[in-house]
Amino acid sequence: MRLLYDFQTAAGLALASIRAHKLRSFLTLLGVIIGVCSVVIVGAAIDGLGAYAEQTTAKTLGSNSYQIGQLLQLGRMSRKERFEKLKYNKRIRPEDYTFLKETTGERILYSPYRVRNSDVKHGTQVLESVSVIGVAAAMAEIREVDLTEGRFFTEQEERNRVPVAVIGEDLRTEFFPDVTPLGKEIKVQGFDITVVGVQEKIGSGGGNGQSQDSVVYVPSTVFNRMFGPEQSMLVFAKAKPGEGLNLDQALDLSRVALRNHFKTRPGKADNFDTLTPDSIREFIGSIIGLISAAVVPITAISLVVGGIVIMNIMLVSVTERTKEIGLRKSLGARHSDLMLQFLMEAVFLSAFGGGVGLALGWAIAKLASVFAGFPLGVSPFYVFLSLFVSSAVGVISGWYPASRAARMDPVEALRAD
């Protein structure tokens, strides 16, 4: 009961002091409010960016697909490393793609993947630098391509070189804002192509910030007629449903087949590259981790500044209330009573500032979500971090002023002007 009474007394005195100096208390809170708000917003942006990257990776590459190519390295690579890699690795040629289909195609879906940038026309309108992508009909299943209208092209259309296409949302918006694009024609490289489907909006992705909606998917056979044959390609692959293969098992089958095809010696590294969504997620995670390690401490510095302001104001408060402190000590107030009083005042200031900063940061994050194009969620971790740090700042900032007040000699305190 005594402990509860001490806390109630200390809390009452602390709140009375805060109410007595409203403007000063508010200005003291600003440092903590800005610090907590900054941590919350940065944390929300980092988490939102990570979730957006995960979602975009799944839409762009597929959740369980993998890629095979001559050079598929994430991150920066020196010119020498790139040269050595290109020198050692084999190109993936059309005959290699055919070999993979013939040897492991019963259990694994494969699709070539070739890209060229080209202007696309519809009537008098022109959209520049559109990514024209030549793939197999299986790509719809490999990359889990979601369509908002129409369908993907079929294997028969691919074999018969039928000029059909699936377009991205940017083309639909630019060329067909008020009508369905299905059955309409666009012109690519002088070829009239009939639109049979529209891909769901993806946004920016692929690690270069380029829009993934300014695309035209055409059958690989049609692509070869447009741009001519090429001696190197990228291959997308995925285990067929019902075959009982996970991603790693399917990838191992493809690797073994290609190593045999390229006559790679046992013990030697693969002379081709592979890339999976997991490796891309790990790479993105490492980049976001580096950003967090650099940015979060910088934003937390404002909390330290807020703590310094609280300590300064508390020292001023102790000086102003010297006679009050002397009077309380002369009437029997203990060392712990004065420590608790001033600590409670500092903690109340920082905790209230943390709460306001948290609410403000959450509101700004929600508002920013509208303009950023992806959700900025305030995770429990950053809520806990901001409130814990702000409370810790209050305790640390208030400890010295409280200790100074508790150590005062009551006689000297009463004689102070």
List, for residues 378-412, the tens digit of each pLDDT value.
777 767 777 777 777 777 777 766 676 667 666 66
| CA distance readout (Å), 206 to 15, 265, 280 | 54, 33, 10
* CA 49, chain centre distance (Å): 2
Asked, for residue 344, whether it belongs to a domain, the answer is: yes
Query: Which of 210, 237, 264 finishes a domain?
Result: 237
Contact by Cβ (8 Å): 27, 288:
no
Structure tokens at 364: 């700004």
Average pLDDT, whole number, for the chain? 80
Domain that holds residue 137: 110-237
If asked whether residues 40 and 135 sit together in one domain, one would say: no
Same structural domain for residues 211 and 305?
no
- Is 105 domain-assigned? no
Residues contacting residue 351 through CB under 8 Å, at least 6 positions apart: 387, 390, 391, 394
80 in a domain, yes or no?
A: no
Q: Other C-beta atoms within 10 Å of 76: how many?
A: 7
* Structural domain total, the chain: 2
Residue 103's Cβ-count burial label (10 Å; 0-12, 13-18, 19+) is: middle
Question: What pLDDT band is residue 415 in, cutting at 50, 70 and 90?
Answer: low
Residue 104 lies in a domain: no
Whether residue 287 sits in one domain with residue 206: no
Give the Cα separation of 161 and 223 in Å (integer).
9
Q: Same domain, yes or no, for 130 and 41? A: no
Q: Note the pLDDT tens digit of each residue in 192-239.
A: 999 999 998 887 654 445 678 899 999 999 999 999 887 788 999 999
Q: Are residues 403 and 327 in the same domain?
A: yes
**What pLDDT is recorded for position 58?**
62
Residue 208 is predicted with a pLDDT of: 47
| End position of a domain, from candidates 181, 212, 237 | 237
Query: Are 237 and 254 spatial neighbours (Cβ–Cβ below 8 Å)?
Result: yes
Distance CA 293, CA 298 (A): 9
Residue 36 domain flag = yes
Q: Tell me if 406 is assigned to some domain.
A: yes
Q: What is the pLDDT of residues 253-291, one digit of tens each?
A: 999 999 999 888 888 888 888 888 777 777 777 777 777
- Whether residues 223 and 135 share a domain: the answer is yes
Residue 414 clears pLDDT 80, i.e. is over it: no
What is the Cα–Cα distance from 335 to 408, expressed in whole angstroms?
A: 9
Same domain, 305 and 410: yes
Q: Are strands 108-122 and 273-275 parallel, antiparallel or unpaired?
A: unpaired
Question: Does 232 lie in the same domain as 295?
Answer: no
**Does one domain contain both 326 and 402?**
yes
Same domain, 295 and 381: yes
Residue 231 lies in a domain: yes
pLDDT tens digits, one per residue of 88-147:
888 899 899 999 999 998 999 999 999 999 999 998 899 998 999 999 999 988 988 889
Residue 144 resides in a domain: yes
pLDDT of residue 256: 92
